[in-house]
Structure 1
C-alpha cells in the first residue's frame, strides 16, 4: 500500500463496526423498562438466541487493554459477582414468554476462567435451566493462559465448552515486558495441551500489532510460532492507543510505538505469513483455515459481524449478562450499567440492569446491512439492498457520488451501485463503510484510528 495513502488517512478515526449504530450513540432512552418490554414481546417460536456473559476481572492489568475490567487479588468479589449474574439470568428469562432456544454462548472479559471450576459449571447449569441450550451449541470462552489451571480446563470440558480463544498478543519477551503481559511460549503450549486433552479442539489465538517494541521481524516470528500451535482461527488486532480513555495506557512508552506506516508493515507481515501457510483472510482482521466454518460462511456470503467480531452467528437476539455487557434485540441495542456497584444495585433491586441503548429505525437497519456486508464481503450492491429493505434503488446515490476521493485513492471501486473494497485496501475497509454512517460526525473522537 502506498505510504502516502496511509499517511493521508492516519488521522481518521472510524468505528470497528461491531454494530451499527455504534455504542457511543446509545442513550438513556432505552433503559430497563424498554428492555423489559422487548423481552416480553419476544416471539421464541420465530427467534433463536445467543448469550454473552461478561466476567470483568483480571489478576493484573495489561497496559494495552481497552476492555471494561477490574483487577482483583481475592476470589470473594468474583463469587459475589457470579451470584448477581445468576440472578440477572433469572430476571431476564422470567420476562421472556416461552423458552428461548440458544445456539451460541460466549464468555468474555476480563478473564472468565478466573471463576472457580465449581462456580463455572454451576453457571452453565443455571443457563441450561433457564434457556434451551440446544445440542451442539457453540460454547466459547476467552482464556488468559497465565491464570488457567488444569482443574479449570477439566471443568470447561465437563461443562460442554467447545471453543476457546486464547489471548497471546505477541511471543516476544521484550514486547511482553513493554505491555505488562509476561506469557512464555511454553505456557500457551501447555494450555493448548490441556484444552485438547479435555475435548476442546476448536481454538482461536489472538495476536496484536502496533504494540511497543514490535517490528516486522518480531510479529512474523510470533505468527510463525502461533501457526505451529495449529489454531483454527487467528484474530489480528491493531493496538488502539487511547490513554485519555484508558489511563493505564499511559504506562506505555509512546516513543516505542510504530507510526502508521510501521503499523501497516507489521499487519502486512502477519498477513503474508498466515496466508502463505494457507489461512484465509476473513474481513478486516481474522484468519481461518479454509475448512473452518468462518471461512466457509464467508465464501457463501453468509459471514456475520456482531459485538464479538466476525461470527457465524446470525441470531437477531443476543442477550448480554454482567456489567457493561451489550445485547441486541430485533427492536434495537441495550447495554448494562458499566460500574460494578451500579450493576449490582439494579440486580439487588430486582430490576434489569440496562441503562442505555438505541431503538433501531428502518433506515438504521438498512445502513447496518450495507456496512455489515462491506465489513464481511468487502463488496455490496447498495441498490439491491435498498430495494430489499423497501427503499428506492437510488437511496444511496448521494453517498456513492461522495466516494470519489476514496475511488481516486484506490480505497473503493464504485461500479453502478456496487461498492467494492480492493484487496490492497483491506486494512482500510472501514473508510468506505463509514460513508454510510449518518451518526459518525457526532462520535468520531471516540473511535480508533483507521490505520
Structure 2
C-alpha cells in the first residue's frame, strides 16, 4: 500500500448513497413539488418503499441515524398513527398499476415495535400500495429486542431478508459504544430469523471503533463468519460528533488514526474473502450464490440509501421523518423533526421539507459515480452515448485524473476508466473528484476509510 493511499485514508468525503448528496438538498422542493412528482409516476412503474422507525430503546453511541431513545412505548404509538396517515396520503397519490418490488424497514429499531403493531403497519402498506407477491421484505434487527412473538410477526409479514446489527463482539469495544450484545444472542437471532422465513441474513460489522485492535477485529470476524451469513456489510465507523452529539460519549483518544483504520479494513476484508465471500463494492460481501453477488458479476449492482443493492427500481419512496425518496425528477426529503412530521402527517399533508431536482449534468455524474462505486470502472463510450455533451465533459475530467502520474487513482483501459486496485478502498475519494457540488458550502463528512 503506497504512502499516498495511506495519507488519504483520513480525508472526509461523502458516502455517495446518492448524488447530489443530501447536504445540497434545498427548501425550494416542497410538498406541492413532491405531490406532482409522485403522481407523475408511470402506471407500470415498479418501486421500492423504505419505512423509517425513528426510535430505539437504547442509544448506541456510534450511531449516526436519525433516531431517539425512549423507554416508553407511548411516543411510538403516537408516531405510528402519523405514519399510517402518511402511508394513506402517499398511497392515494401513487398511480394505479404501480407495484412495490421491495420493502425495507429501517431505523432506529424497527424491532422495537410490538409484534401486533408491525403486522398492522405492514397491512396498512399493503392496503395503500400494491405489493408484488414476490416483493423482498427486509428488516433491520437489533438482537436485544427479539423474542418469539417478534419472530412470529416477522414471519407473518413475509420477511425475506434480515439485517442483523453486530458492530463488534469484543466486550471492551461494546462497552465503549454502549452496544452490549453477546455472540450467543446474535447466533440465536440469526438461526431464528432463518427458521421464520429469512432467505438471506446480513450481518453489519464496524471497524474504526474505540479500543478496536487488529486482534480483536480478527476475533469478531471469525465469530461473525461462523454464523454463515449470506451477506456481510463492513462499515467504517463515521465519527461525526458535530452532527450527532451523543458521539461525544466516545473517547476520541481510543479511536484509530487513518492508517489504523486502513489496516483494520484490509485485515477484515482479507479474512472475509478468504472465507469464500465475494467483495461487493468497497464495503459489502456476499456468498457467490447470493442475489447481490450475482448482480455484481452481471453489472447490475446499484447503490442507494441502504447501501449496495440488487434492487433496480428507479423510484424509492421513503416514509417517516428524515426519509429520502428518489423519483425520476429528483430527491425529496421528509422533515427530520418527529413532532413536525406527526403534525403534517396527521393533517393529511406530505412531510416533504426539501429536495433537489436533477439537471442533465446531475444525471450524468450520478451514473458515473454509481458505476465507480459499484464496478470500480465506467465506460467512456457509454457515458457519451447516454449523456451526450455532459458525458463527454466527464470523460475529459476522467482523462485528466488518469494522467496524474504515480498518484493517479484512475487509469484508462481502451474505452474504460478503471480504478487502480490499490486505490479501491479510496473509491469515495475518487468519486468526490466528479462531484460538482462538493466545494459549495462548508460541509463535513466522514473519513474516506
TM class, shorter-length: over 0.9
Aligned equivalent of 1:389, options 387, 390, 393: 387
Question: Shift of residue 131 of structure 1?
Answer: 1.1
Preserved contact between residue 14 and residue 449 of structure 1 (Cα < 8 Å): yes
Name whichever of 256-265 and 431-440 sits farther off: 431-440
Q: Contact (CA 8 Å) 2:9, 2:426: kept in 1 or not?
A: no
TM-score in terms of structure 2 length: 0.97
Give the match for residue 232 of structure 2: 234
- 2:363 corresponds in structure 1 to 365
* Residue 345 to residue 393, structure 1, CA distance change in 2 (3 Å): closer
Residue 417 of structure 1 deviates from its aligned partner by 5.4
Between the aligned partners of 1:297 and 1:163, the Cα distance in structure 2 is 16
1:410 CA drift (Å):
4.8
Alpha-carbon separation, structure 2, partners of 1:254 and 1:407: 36
How far did 1:126 drift? Answer: 1.1
The CA deviation at 1:13 is 1.7
**Cα deviation code 1:357-413 (max 9, x no counterpart):** 000111111111011000000000134212222337632244124415765225221
1:438 matched to which residue of 2? 436
* Cα contact 1:99–1:131 (8 A) shared by 2: no
Match of 2:2 in 1: 2
How far off is 1:194 after superposition? 1.8
| Aligned residue pairs, count | 449
Q: Which runs of 5+ in 2 are unaligned?
A: none
User: Do residues 13 (structure 1) and 12 (structure 2) align?
Assistant: yes
- 1:265: which partner in 2? 263
Aligned equivalents of 2:134 and 2:102: distance in 1? 9
1:12 positional shift: 2.5
Deviations 1:251-308 (A, max 9, x none): 1111111111110111111111000010000001000001111111110111011111
Q: Is 2:20 the counterpart of 1:25?
A: no
Kept in 2: contact 1:51–1:102 (CA 8 A): yes
Gap regions ≥5 residues in structure 1: none
8 Å CA contact 1:52–1:318 kept in 2: the answer is yes
Which stretch shows the higher mean deviation, 266-275 or 441-450?
441-450
Among 175, 179, 182, which residue is 1:181 paired with? 179
2:220 corresponds to: 222
Within 5 A, what are the aligned runs for 1:16-165? Answer: 16-45=15-44, 47-165=45-163
Write the distance in 1 (CA, Å) between the matches of 2:416 and 2:160. Answer: 39
RMSD: 1.5
Report the secondary structure of 1:389's partner residue.
helix
Distance 2:112 2:253 in 1: 34
Secondary structure (helix, strand or coil) at the match of 2:435 reads: coil
Q: Which deviates more from structure 2 when the two are superposed, residues 403-412 or residues 331-340? A: 403-412
User: Which shows bigger deviation, 405-414 or 117-126?
Assistant: 405-414
Q: Kindly state the Cα deviation for residue 10 of structure 1 after the two structures are TM-superposed.
A: 4.1
State whether residues 364 and 390 of structure 2, in contact with CA within 8 Å, keep that contact through their aligned partners in structure 1.
no
